[in-house]
Amino acid sequence: MSGLTLGGGHGVVSRAYGLTCDSLTQATIVTADGKQLTANATDHKDLFWALRGAGNGNFGVVTELRFRTHPAPQAVSAYMTWPWSKAAAVVKAWQEWGPDQPDEIWSSCHLACAPGGTPTISVAAFSLGTYGELQNAVDRLADRIGSPARSVSLKRRSYEESMEMYAGCSSFSTDAKCHLPGSTPGRTPTGALGRETYAARSDFFDRSISAAGIQTLLTHISSVRGGAGSIQLTALGGAINRVSPTATAFVHRRSRMLAQYLASWKAGTSGTTAQSWLTTTHQAMSRHASGAAYQNYTDPTLTNWRKAYYGAAASRLTTVKRHYDPTGFFNFPQAL
Ligand SMILES: Cc1cc2nc3c(=O)[nH]c(=O)nc-3n(C[C@H](O)[C@H](O)[C@H](O)COP(=O)(O)OP(=O)(O)OC[C@H]3O[C@@H](n4cnc5c(N)ncnc54)[C@H](O)[C@@H]3O)c2cc1C
C-alpha cells in the first residue's frame, strides 16, 4: 500500500474513484530528525501535497496512511482478443474509446509476444456498472474496430473475486495460496505464486497515438528478442483527470493513456538482449509520447527523471525536500 499510494497508485477503479493517493486523507511520517508529523489538508499542507505523488523515500518514513473509503460492489470484467492482422485497427479504436468511456469503465489494451511467436492483441475492461452497460460498450468498441472480437468473455463477479482474478489467484482453493511460498512476512507455506524476472519503462500519452506511432508499436512488439515482451496501454481520464495537475505531486492529470513496456527473461540469465529490445522500443516511442513517465514504474535509465516524473512540480518539491530533509538524509539515485 505505501509505495503504491505515495507515488500515485492507479488501478481498475481509478477512473471511478481517482488514484489511490486521491483517497488519502492523512499521513503520519517520521522525518530525518526523528520527529513524528501528521500531514493532512490543514497541517503540514505542503508535505501532504508532496506525499501524494512524490512521497516514496524522499521526505521520511510514512508510518500510517488514512483513506476515504469507497463502495466495492459487484463488478463486470471483459476480456477480448482479435487476430494479429487487426492489431492496428484495435489500438486505433481502443485509444479513442477507452479514455472516453463513463467513469465506471476502465480498460487496457495489451500487445504481447514471445520470441519467434506470433504477437497477440487483447483488450481487458472492468466496470462497476451493469453487465448490459459493459456489453454495449464493448460492442461499440468492436464496431469502431470494424471487426468482431475473435474471443469475448464477459463475467460478473464480486469485487474480491475480480481482484483475485487480476492477481492470477482465481483458480486457488485458499487465499493462503495467493502469496509467494515461504514463512517470512507476506509469504505463506502454501504460497503458489512465483516471481518473474523483468524490467519495465513507461510513457504517458496526452493525445491519441498517430498511425505512425501505432506502426512503431506493432513493429517493435513483432521483433521481441531475448525473452518475452509486452506493451500495456492503460486508459486514464475520468476521476483521475478531474484533479488539477497542481493539487498533488502526481502531475500527470492531462494524459489519456499510460504505457508500460515490459521485457522478461529467464531467471539466472543476464537478460541483456531483452533489455536492449526494451530500450530500443521505449526510444522509438518517445517521439510519439508526452515525455512524462510514471514515478512508480521507477526507471533507472531515465536521465531526465525529475521532469519526467514530476513535471512542473519539480521545483516546489525541491523546496519541500529542503524544508523537511535539509541534509538529504533520505537519499537514493533518483531522490529529490
Ligand atoms: C508486479 C507489479 C505490479 C504493479 N502494478 C501496479 C499498478 O497496477 N498500479 C500502480 O500504480 N503501480 C503498480 N506497480 C508499481 C507500484 O506502485 C510500485 O512498485 C510501488 O512502489 C510498490 O509499493 P511498495 O510499498 O511495495 O514499495 P517498495 O517497492 O517497497 O518501495 C518503493 C519505494 O517507495 C519507498 N517507500 C515504500 N514504503 C514507504 C514508506 N512507508 N514511507 C516512505 N517511503 C516508502 C521505498 O523507499 C522505495 O523508494 C506495480 C509493481 C509491480 C512490481
Same fold, 2-71+313-324 and 75-170+195-286: no
Choose one of 4, 58, 61 to mutate for the ligand 1 pocket test, by most ligand atoms within 8 angstroms of C-beta: 4
Q: Please report which confidence band the pLDDT of residue 246 belongs to, taking 50, 70 and 90 as the band edges.
A: very high
For residues 290 and 97, what is the distance between their CA atoms, to the nearest angstrom? Answer: 19
How far away, in angstroms, is 219 Cα from ligand 1 center?
Answer: 31
Task: Write out pLDDT tens, residues 86-111.
Answer: 999 999 999 999 999 999 999 999 99
How far away, in angstroms, is 85 Cα from ligand 1 center?
Answer: 36
What pLDDT, on the 0 to 100 scale, is given for residue 145? 98
Length of the chain: 336
Task: Write out pLDDT tens, residues 118-169.
Answer: 999 999 999 999 999 999 999 999 999 999 999 999 999 999 999 999 999 9
What pLDDT, on the 0 to 100 scale, is given for residue 33? 96
Q: Please report which confidence band the pLDDT of residue 193 belongs to, taking 50, 70 and 90 as the band edges.
A: very high
Q: Are 251 and 306 in contact (CB under 8 A)?
A: no
Domain segments of the chain: what residues? 2-71+313-324, 75-170+195-286
Whether the predicted pLDDT of 115 surpasses 90: no
Q: What is the mean pLDDT of residues 6-32?
A: 98
Burial label for 59, CB within 10 Å (0-12, 13-18, 19+), is: buried
Q: Please report which confidence band the pLDDT of residue 116 belongs to, taking 50, 70 and 90 as the band edges.
A: confident
For residues 40 and 170, what is the distance between their CA atoms, to the nearest angstrom? Answer: 37
For residues 26 and 29, what is the distance between their CA atoms, to the nearest angstrom? Answer: 10
For residues 172 and 150, what is the distance between their CA atoms, to the nearest angstrom? Answer: 28
List, as one string, the DSSP characters of 101-127: S-TTEEEEEEEEE-TTS--EEEEEEEE
| Residue in 164, 133, 137, 163 with CA at minimum distance from that of residue 149 | 137
For residues 277 and 224, what is the distance between their CA atoms, to the nearest angstrom? Answer: 6
Q: Please report which confidence band the pLDDT of residue 41 belongs to, taking 50, 70 and 90 as the band edges.
A: very high
- Mean pLDDT, the chain, whole residue set: 97
What pLDDT, on the 0 to 100 scale, is given for residue 247? 98
- Give the atom of ligand 1 at the shortest distance from the alpha carbon of 19: 11
How far away, in angstroms, is 44 Cα from ligand 1 center?
Answer: 23
| Residue in 318, 320, 334, 243 with CA at minimum distance from that of residue 39 | 320
For residues 58 and 333, what is the distance between their CA atoms, to the nearest angstrom? Answer: 11
Instruction: State the CATH class of domain 2-71+313-324.
Output: alpha beta
Does the domain at residues 75-170+195-286 carry the CATH identifier 3.40.50.2300? Answer: no
Task: Write out pLDDT tens, residues 167-185.
Answer: 999 999 999 999 999 999 9
pTM of the model: 0.96
How far away, in angstroms, is 163 Cα from ligand 1 center?
Answer: 18
For residue 93, give Cα distances in angstroms to 104, 115, 124, 202, 209: 19, 27, 14, 21, 11
As for ligand 1, residues whose beta carbon falls within 6 Å of it are: 2-4, 6-11, 56-57, 61-62, 296
Q: What nine digits make up the cell of 274? A: 531483452
For residue 76, give Cα distances in angstroms to 1, 81, 109: 24, 17, 17
How far away, in angstroms, is 6 Cα from ligand 1 center?
Answer: 8
Whether the predicted pLDDT of 49 surpasses 90: yes
- Give the atom of ligand 1 at the shortest distance from the alpha carbon of 4: 17
| Residue in 301, 302, 280 with CA at minimum distance from that of residue 291 | 302
Task: Write out pLDDT tens, residues 247-294.
Answer: 999 999 999 999 999 999 999 999 999 999 999 999 999 999 999 999
Q: What is the mean pLDDT of residues 41-70?
A: 98
What pLDDT, on the 0 to 100 scale, is given for residue 188? 96
